Amino acid sequence: MLPTKTGRTTAELPAFRRAQQRAYACAESVAARLRPGTTEREAARMQLEWLREHGGVNRSRPPLAWFGDRTVLPAPAGLGRTAGLSRTAGLAGCAPPRRLLPTDRKLAASMPFVLDMAPVLAGRTTVVGYSGCLGPDPVHERLMTDLRAHRELLLRRVRERRTLRELHEEVERLSAVQGYGTPPHTRPLGALLHPVAASPYERESGPAHRLPPRWSGRYGCRAPDRPPRPGLWVAEPHLWFRGTGAKFAELLVVTDSRDPEQSAFWLDDDLPHVRRWQEEAQAV
Amino acid sequence: MNTSPTGRPDGPEPGRPDGRGPDQRAGHGPERRAGHEQGRRNTPEPGRRTGGGAEGTTQPDGTAQPGNGLPADTRVRQVATGGIELCVAELGDPRHPTVVLLHGYPDNKEVWAQVADLLKDRFHVVLYDVRGCGHSTAPKPLRGGFTLEKLTDDFLAVADAVSPDEPVHLVGHDWGSVQGWEFATVARTEGRIASFTSVSGPSLDHFGHWIARRLSRPTPRRVAQLLGQGAKSWYVYALHTPVLPELAWRGPLGKRWPRILERTEKVPATGRPTTLARDAAHGAWLYRDNIRARLRRPRTDCYAHVPVQLITPTEDAFLSTYLYDDLEQWAPRLTRRTLRAKHWVPRTRPEQLASWIAGFVDGHQPGLPAVEPAATGPYADRFADRLVLVTGAGSGIGRATAFSFAEAGARVIAVDRDGDGAHRTAQLARLAGAPEAWAETVDVADEQAMEKLAEKVAAEYGTVDVLVNNAGVGMAGPFLDTTTQDWKHTLDVNLWGVIHGCRLFGRQMAERGQGGHIVNTAAASAYQPSRTLPAYSTSKAAVLMLTECLRAELADQDIGVTAVCPGFVNTGLTRTARFAGADERARQRLRSRAARLYGIRNYPPEKVAEAVLRAVVRNQAVVTVTPEARAARLLSRLAPRVLRGMARIQPPV
C-alpha cells in the first residue's frame, strides 16, 4: 500500500504504468526516426512534438537528447567536479544546467545516443531514459547488458531498506567492479534515485508536496542517510565507458508493506531495456 | 603459439641471421665487442668485406651474394633495366603478398636484413640495391644517371620481375622513402603499388612546397622551422661539393663510419654494410641529380594515389618532425606512426618496424576493402600495436591506464592479484580498441610468480614495450602502532612488486636493445611527509628514488623510466587499505570515512591514465597529477618546512 500522505494511491498505479508506456513509445518512435546528421536539438524537438500531439506537458523541464560522448553525463570541469564546492556555489537550481541542454551536435554512424524526458502524460508524471546506438557498437551493447545487474541490485537493496547513501555506494562499487567509470550520480546534479516531483499539471495529484525539484542535486552526490520513503521514485542508473554512456530511467514504487515482495517493486516490467535482456537470455 | 601480428617466430631468438644472441646485445664494453666479433664470424656470407673499396658486384663464379646479414636461403638475381644490372634479393614464399624494401643513403639492401628476416615468414620480401649501390651496377656517366625518373624505371622493372600480376607493397627508408614518394605520386606506377610505408624520407616535391610556403609567408614560427631544418640539412650542402665527398668516403670517413654511427646514432656495429664506400660515393649523385631541380620547381600534381603509412622517428638528427605537418593535403589516406628513435630505424627498431609494416600490408590487400585501425585514441600514432603490461590492472588507476593504452591501439596484458578484475579489464580493453588483450593472475609481491610471468610473457606475447608497475596497497596508522607484519606486507607489494617488475621486464627490454619505457606509480606522499601514512609514504618514496636511479642507468639503452605521483584519486585503494592500531569496527569506520573523502574529491583515475601516456610520449621523469600533488611537490622544493608543519596535523579521518 502507498500511504495516503504520499498523495498517491495504489489504485493510481495502472494510470502511471500507462503514462510510462506511452512515454517509452514516444522515445522508441523518435529513436526509430534518428538518422545520421540529426542534431540533438532536432531529436529533442521530435520528442517535444510527439508529446504535444499526444497531450503531454513538459513544465518541469524540456526533453533532452545527448549524442556521442555527451551520453556520458558531462562532468563540470576543474574544481566544479568537487561536489561540495559546486553546491555551495549555488549551482543547485530548478533549471537544467546549460551543459545538459541539447546542442547542434550531429548523430553519425555507430554513435550512441540517450533520450531523456520527464513529461506529464495522461495526467501522470513519468520519466524516460532511453539509450540507443545508430548501428552496432560492442561497447554500447556491453553497457546495456551490464545495466541489468544494477536494476536487480537497486530493487534488492531498496527492499532491504538500505539508506540512500548505502545504495549510492553499492552502485558505485558495482560499476567499479564492472570496470566502468565513476557513475554520474557522484557528480553535482547527477542522481541515482529521486522521488517523482509532483506537478501542478498532474490531475488528482493530491496535496502539493514539498519535494525538491529534479535538478536540485539533493539526491545526487550527497545522498541522505535514510532509506527511501514510501512513494514513487525514479531510478536512473547510468554507466559509461570511454566516451560511450548508457542509462535507463524507471519508476520504482516503494510502499510501507512488511512483505519484501510488496515493499518495493518496479512499476512496469514491459519496457524496452527489460525486453532486451529477456531476448538476450532467450538467445543464450 | 605465436599470436603477434608480425609473425614473430616462437621462442626466444631462434637463430638470428646475423648470429647475434640476446646475451650479446646486452652488455657494454669488452663483453659487447666480443659478441660482435662472434657475430661476424657466424655471418653466413663468406665473401664479407668491410668498408672501403668493395667494387665487385659478383663473385668469381658469376652469382651474386645476398649480402651481410641476409639469410643464406635468400634468392638473388640480376634484373636488367636501361643498361643497368640491379641486384634483387628475395625471401619467403612468392605466393604471399610482395613487400619491396628500399634502402637509403649511404646504405645498400643489407640495412633491411633484420626487418626482412622478421617479415619473410608471412610475406614475399623483395630487396634490391639501388643503381650504383651494393651489387647493382652504376650508370655511365654518373651525372644525370640518378634522376627520380630513372629510379622509377628501375622500380617498375623490379616490380614486374618479382610480382608481374599483383601490385606490391612498398617500404622505403631515407632515400628509399624519397624514391617511394615519387613512385607513389607519379601516374605511371598506378596499379603497381598497393601501399606505401615511408620511414624518414619526405617527398622532394612536398618538401619544395613546404619551403615555398614558409618563404612566401614567413611567420616567426615558420622561419624557426625553416632555420631548424636548414641546419639539420648540413650534409646535403656538403654532398653537393664536387669530388671531395667521394674522396672522404673512399678514405677516412668510410673506415670510421660504422663507429660514428654506433656512437652518434646508436646503430649496432654488427651487420655493417659491405660496400659502404661504393654506396656512399655513387649515392652522392642522388642528391646532385635531384635536390636542386625538385626543390626549385616542385611538381604540383604530387598527390599519393596509394594509402600511405608515415613512420616518423622523433629524434631524427636529419629530418624534423614538422616536415610532415601538411601531409594530409598530399596523401589523403594517411596513417601516422611515431616512435622515439634516431634516424636508422631499420637497424635500431626492426621489430617495431616489422610489426607496423605487417599490420599496414594486412590492412591494404588489393581487391579487399581497406581495414582501418580500430584505435582512435590521442596517442594511436605512438602506441599502435605495442605491447603494454600493467600491474594492478584489476581496478582503479591500473585499469584506467590499461584502457587508455587499449584506446591507443596497444596490445595489453592486464596483471592483477584479483583474476576476475584482470579478466574484466582485458575484456573491456578489447572493446576499447586493443587488437589483443590478455589477463594474468599474479601477485606482484611473489618473486617466483613474477619470474614465471616474465617467462610466459616473453615466450607467448613478446618483449614488453611499456611496463606500468602500478600495483600497490594502502597502509595507514601511526608508526608506533604499525606491526612488522604490516611493514612487510606494504613493502612487499609497493616496493618489491616494482623491483621485480623492473628487474625482470627491464632486463628483457635491455636485452632486446630496441628501447622501451617503464612507468612506476609512486604517490604524492613520496615527498609529502605525514604522521598517518609512515609505511605507505616510505614505500612510495623508495619507489620514487628507485625510478630516478633506474632512469639514469637505462638511459643508454633508450629505455625511459617515469615515476607518477597521482595524489588523492577516487579508486578502490581506500577500500582495501590497512589501518594500524584500530580494531575491526574502527577500521571499517575509518575505511568508509576515507572512501567518502576520496569520493568528495572525486578525482577520476582516467586523468591519471592520460598523464601516464603523456609521460611516456614525452619521456618525463616525475609526473604529478592532481593540483594538490603539484602544490606539495612545489612546496617540498621551495619551503619544505611548511610540509613538515602540515605533516604534524592530525587529519580528520
Range in A192-196, A241-245, B40-44, B296-300 the model is least confident about: B40-44
Q: Which residues of A touch B395 (CB under 8 A)?
A: 176-177
Rounded Cα–Cα distance for residues B211 and B104 (Å): 23
Residues 590-649 of B with CB under 8 A from A: 592, 595, 599-604, 606
Number of domains in chain A: 1
Is B346 in the same domain as B386? Answer: no
Rounded Cα–Cα distance for residues B342 and B329 (Å): 26
Name the residue with higher pLDDT: B584 or B443: B443
- Is the pLDDT at A200 greater than 60? The verdict is no
- Is the pLDDT at A160 greater than 50? The verdict is yes
State residue B48's pLDDT score: 36
Question: What region, left, alpha or beta, does residue A189 occupy, with left being phi > 0 and alpha being psi -120 to 50 degrees?
Answer: left
Is B392 in the same domain as B305? Answer: no
State residue A118's pLDDT score: 84
Point out the residue among B399, B428, B570 whose CB comes nearest to the CB of A182. Answer: B570
Q: What is the arithmetic mean of pLDDT over B190-200?
A: 95
- Is the pLDDT at B47 greater than 50? The verdict is no
For B574-636, give the DSSP string.
HHH-EETT--HHHHHHHHHHHHHHHHHH---HHHHHHHHHHHHHHT-SEEE-SHHHHHHHHHH
Interface test with B, best of A145, A186, A222, A242 (most B CBs within 10 A): A242
Confidence of residue A44 (pLDDT cuts 50, 70, 90): very high
State residue B576's pLDDT score: 78
Confidence of residue A74 (pLDDT cuts 50, 70, 90): low
Three-state DSSP class for residue B452: helix
State residue B17's pLDDT score: 38
Is B593 in the same domain as B632? Answer: yes
A112 close to A31: Cβ distance less than 8 angstroms? no
State residue A6's pLDDT score: 60
State residue B37's pLDDT score: 37
Interface test with B, best of A111, A162, A177, A189 (most B CBs within 10 A): A177
Confidence of residue B639 (pLDDT cuts 50, 70, 90): very high
Give the containing element (helix H, strand E) for B437.
strand B437-441
State residue A89's pLDDT score: 41
Is residue A80 in some structural domain?
Answer: no
State residue A11's pLDDT score: 79
In this predicted model, what pLDDT tens digit does every residue of B428-458 receive, in sequence order? 999 999 999 999 999 999 999 999 999 999 9
Is residue A81 in some structural domain?
Answer: no
Domain containing B591 equals 380-647
Confidence of residue A97 (pLDDT cuts 50, 70, 90): low
Is residue B41 in some structural domain?
Answer: no
State residue A203's pLDDT score: 43
State residue B44's pLDDT score: 37
Is residue B42 in some structural domain?
Answer: no
State residue A187's pLDDT score: 64
Is residue B374 in some structural domain?
Answer: no
Name the residue with higher pLDDT: A274 or B588: A274
State residue A191's pLDDT score: 72
Is B521 in the same domain as B591? Answer: yes
Cα distances (Å, whole numbers) of residue B12 to B9, B21, B38, B456, B543: 8, 9, 19, 11, 30
Confidence of residue A77 (pLDDT cuts 50, 70, 90): low
- Interchain CB distance below 8 Å, A182 and B602: yes
Three-state DSSP class for residue B453: helix
- Is the pLDDT at A221 greater than 90? The verdict is no
Is B231 in the same domain as B200? Answer: yes
Is B353 in the same domain as B419? Answer: no
Q: Which residues of A touch B600 (CB under 8 A)?
A: 82-84, 221
- Interchain CB distance below 8 Å, B428 and A83: no
Number of domains in chain B: 2
Q: What number of CA atoms fall less than 13 Å from residue A130's CA on the CB side?
A: 28
State residue B652's pLDDT score: 67
Is B335 in the same domain as B440? Answer: no
Sheet holding A264-266, edge to edge: A193-195, A231-235, A250-254, A264-266
State residue B650's pLDDT score: 84
**Which amino acids of B are annotated catalytic?**
536
Q: What is the arithmetic mean of pLDDT over A230-243?
A: 88
Range in A44-58, A149-163, B613-627 the model is least confident about: A44-58
Range in A136-145, A191-200, B31-40, B370-379 the model is least confident about: B31-40
CA B289 vs. chain centroid, Å, equals 33
Is B272 in the same domain as B346? Answer: yes
Q: Which residues of B touch A182 (CB under 8 A)?
A: 570, 602, 604
Domain edge (last residue) among B302, B328, B363: B363
Instruction: Provide the percentage of residues in chain A whose pLDDT is more than 70.
Output: 76
Is residue A92 in some structural domain?
Answer: no
Rounded Cα–Cα distance for residues B223 and B205 (Å): 19
Confidence of residue B381 (pLDDT cuts 50, 70, 90): very high
Q: What is the arithmetic mean of pLDDT over A160-188?
A: 84
Rounded Cα–Cα distance for residues B32 and B364 (Å): 41
Is B408 in the same domain as B339? Answer: no
In this predicted model, what pLDDT tens digit does every residue of B112-163 receive, in sequence order? 999 999 999 999 999 999 999 999 999 988 999 999 999 999 999 999 999 9
State residue B41's pLDDT score: 35
Confidence of residue B569 (pLDDT cuts 50, 70, 90): confident
Report yes or no: B379 at the A interface, CB cutoff 8 Å: no
Q: What is the mean pLDDT of chain B?
A: 86
Is residue B168 in some structural domain?
Answer: yes
ipTM over 0.90: no
Is residue A91 in some structural domain?
Answer: no
Q: What is the arithmetic mean of pLDDT over B174-186?
A: 95
- Is the pLDDT at B16 greater than 50? The verdict is no
Is B297 in the same domain as B438? Answer: no
CATH code of residue B325: 3.40.50.1820
Rg over alpha carbons for chain A, rounded to the nearest Å, is 18
CATH code of residue A242: 3.90.230.10
Is residue A94 in some structural domain?
Answer: no
Point out the residue among A83, A169, A182 whose CB comes nearest to the CB of B604. Answer: A182
Is residue B226 in some structural domain?
Answer: yes
CATH code of residue B622: 3.40.50.720
- Interchain CB distance below 8 Å, B395 and A84: no
Is residue A278 in some structural domain?
Answer: yes
- Interchain CB distance below 8 Å, A181 and B395: no
Is B91 in the same domain as B192? Answer: yes
Is B172 in the same domain as B133? Answer: yes
Domain containing A196 equals 4-73+99-283
Confidence of residue A205 (pLDDT cuts 50, 70, 90): very low
Is residue B104 in some structural domain?
Answer: yes
State residue B224's pLDDT score: 95
